[in-house]
C-alpha cells in the first residue's frame, strides 16, 4: 500500500528530497522496518538514518515511537529531534 513520506531538516538534506510516495512490501510492518527498507537504497538514505538515536517520527501528524505499526498510516514523517522555541 502506498504511503507518503516526509523528510525534515538533516534527514531531508541527506536524502535530497522533502518527501516521496513509496510502496513497501508487506514485511515492512513498523517504522523501524520502513527505515531498514529505505536504507537498502544506499547512499543518502544510509547517511540520513545512520544514527537511530537521533531519529524521530510522526504518523499522520502525531509523534510515535520508532516501533509503531504502519497499519492504516497515510503519511509518515521522519526527522531529527525538534529544536524550536528560543533561548
Partner 1 sequence: MSALRVLVQREDIDVGAELARLEALGGGGLASFTGIVRGEGGMAMLELEHHPGMTGKVMRDIAEQAAERWTLAGVTVIHRYGELRAGERIVLTAAAARHRHAALEACAFLIDWLKTEAPFWKKEHFADGRSAWVESRSSDTAATDRWRP
Q: Least distance from C-beta 27 to partner 1, angstroms?
A: 28
Q: Where are the beta strands (DSSP E) in the chain?
A: 3-7, 19-22, 56-59, 62-64, 75-79
* Residue 9 is a binding residue for partner 1 (CB under 8 A): yes
Q: Which CB, 27 or 83, lies closer to partner 1?
A: 83
The conformational region for residue 21 under phi > 0 = left, psi -120 to 50 = alpha, else beta, is beta
**80 binds partner 1, rule: CB under 8 A:** yes
Nearer to partner 1, 1 or 82 (CB): 82
Amino acid at each position: 500500500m502506498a504511503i507518503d513520506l516526509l523528510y525534515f531538516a538533516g534527514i531531508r538534506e541527506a536524502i535530497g528530497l522533502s518527501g516521496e510516495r513509496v510502496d513497501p512490501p508487506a514485511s515492512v510492518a513498523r517504522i523501524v522496518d520502513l527505515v531498514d527498507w529505505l536504507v537498502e537504497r544506499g547512499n543518502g538514505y544510509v547517511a540520513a538514518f545512520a544514527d537511530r538515536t537521533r531519529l524521530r517520527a510522526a504518523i499522520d501528524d502525531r509523534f510515535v515511537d520508532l516501533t509503531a505499526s504502519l497499519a492504516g498510516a497515510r503519511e509518515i514523517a521522519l526527522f531529527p529531534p525538534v529544536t524550536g522555541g528560543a533561548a
